[in-house]
A and B are shown apart, each in its own frame.
Chain A
Amino acid sequence: MNLMADILLNVTIAFLVGSVLFGIQRKVMARIQLRPGPPIIQHLLHTMKFFIKETVFPKTAAMPFYVVITVILCAIWVAAVIVGPVTQGPLLLLFAIFAIHKIVEHNAGSSSGSPYGKLSCVRAVFSAAAELPLFAVLIIIFLQTGTMQLSTIVAYQAEHGALIFTLPLAAMMFIALIISKSYYYSPLNITLAKDIVSGFETEHFGMLRGFIMISEAITWYMLLWVFLTVFFGALSPLMYLIGMVILTALIGAVNALTPILNPNHSVMTEITLAFIGIVGSIIMMFYI
């Protein structure tokens, strides 16, 4: 297939599936809390709505960063789609993208001049400790498979069986990472916690918010895609979809049932999980 068509198709799928997954997550959370909940396509509707809303650019914002940061957010996740589903490139690159995502959160928060955004920005720095499980997962997978290419990781799993059975603790760390990056009342996501309104998105109104929401949907799809690919190997599109729905419902349940932790507790939880994951995985790798 034409490469550009491939990329466009994958980006569109990522956006649509990610949006609907958000809807499913909110539905699950609502049903657990005995509410009817919004329709499943709510995220999609919101995105459309924000694009035709009146947009104002705050007088206090740091231009042009305030606008360009939304473009960068979209660009890095398009890059992730290229590295992931399109070319199955190096895993290390995906983790560089996660790192830049952190920086985008940081700068989107601080460039608006809003105190809520600023708090989110400081928290983004604080939660850099959450990158620890990320790199640990990376190194553990590398130690197990001897490669960082997604295509060869998939090939390895076709030969030796899914990695989730050999590296369950690494999978647990990755799930903690997904929860820490999940939207809608995540216990670990301190940059978007509700005590600072909408975190770094607070001062991005109108079409800029709509743009951010498109990138968010792609982000969510890619997080789940990477998890499924790294720990389950090659799946058919239908299996990917089923896996994503199950994971989203699981994380929706976790988010609905847990309190939102404060920054210190959130960071300590992640470091503890990382410690258990790293030590446990290495012990399992050498002695079992």
Chain B
Amino acid sequence: MDITTLGGQLLGIIPLGDIVLYVTTFNLFMFAAALVFTVLIAMSKTEKQVEAEFGTLNDREKKVGKDEFKVRRFLSIICGLATAGAMITGDLFNFTLFVTLIGIVNIGIVSAVKEVDVLDSAFQYGIIAMLATLPLFGGAALILAATGTLSMFEIVNIPSTAMMIFGSILLFIGVAGESGVAPFFATKAEMFRTAGSPFLVIIHLSSLLVIVRAIEVILLISKPF
């Protein structure tokens, strides 16, 4: 199997010693998308949520305070950069590190909010994310033990064994828990009820893009062909 089977044309490789970053159209597109969103988040203001107050004629405004704004924007930018890194990295261990960083920062982005429901949800998501680090790193370790390398450029050329497939399944469970998709999305949906749309978008962006990349990584490792 070839790396170009999945990601399209190979635009170039960046050899950094043992780790070889490979850039395909697919990686480049997702990398650029993550960076564009990060730049926009860095310069965007937050929205104001205006709702009618019950029982009176006044409006109730939900705004993001200045201190909260600064902290959340900083964490969002880190999250955006980590996402971009996870899109382009050619090293399995770096990939898992970026994914865990995304998980940590995602909790940080909403933990500055003073709303009980949102914090509850962030707490539950945090537990899932913490639990998911075990299969995530375990999977990467199994693949390292089975192949002797972490560079995906190398792994692609090694015929897959049962241990590698098992490792990639563990990796997938880890990524799913860490990014809070499919079976775990219910823990995450509540987090989005708070104000501050530019910061919330990166939470969603990171999880979806990481899942798409994880599909590529897992197919490269387990190689059905």
Give chain A's interface residues, CB within 8 Å of chain B: 59-66, 68, 72, 76, 79, 89-90, 92-93, 95-96, 99-100, 102-103, 106-107, 110-113, 115, 118, 121-122, 124-126, 128-129, 131-132, 135, 138-139, 142-143, 146-149
Contact = CB atoms under 8 A, between A and B. Distances in A.
A258 B40 CA distance: 39
Given A99-B208, A125-B185, A92 B201 contact: no
Interface in B152-182: 181-182
A61 B49 CA distance: 9
A57 B19 CA distance: 48
Pairs A-B, 7 closest by C-beta atoms: A110-B197, A113-B47, A90-B8, A62-B47, A60-B48, A99-B208, A107-B201
19 contacts: A59-B48, A61-B47, A62-B44, A96-B30, A99-B208, A99-B209, A103-B204, A106-B201, A110-B192, A113-B48, A122-B192, A125-B189, A128-B204, A129-B181, A129-B182, A138-B215, A139-B215, A146-B5, A149-B5
Given A93-B26, A121-B192, A135-B215, A115 B49 contact: yes
A76 B198 CA distance: 19
Given A72-B36, A125-B192, 16 more contacts: A65-B44, A65-B197, A90-B7, A90-B8, A90-B24, A99-B209, A111-B44, A115-B49, A121-B197, A126-B185, A126-B189, A129-B182, A129-B185, A131-B182, A139-B215, A149-B8
B46 interface: yes
Q: For the complex, would chain B's binding face be called helix, strand, loop or mixed by DSSP majority?
A: helix
Contacts of A146: 5, 224-225
B192 A103 contact: no
Interface string B31-57: 001001100100111111111000000
A66 B45 CA distance: 10
Interface in B168-225: 181-182, 185, 188-189, 192-193, 197-198, 200-201, 204-205, 207-209, 211-212, 215-216, 219, 224-225
Nearest to A68: B40
A66 B197 CA distance: 10
A99 B192 contact: no
Given A65-B197, A128-B185, A148 B6 contact: yes
A84 to B, nearest CB: 13
A148 B185 contact: no
A62 B46 contact: yes
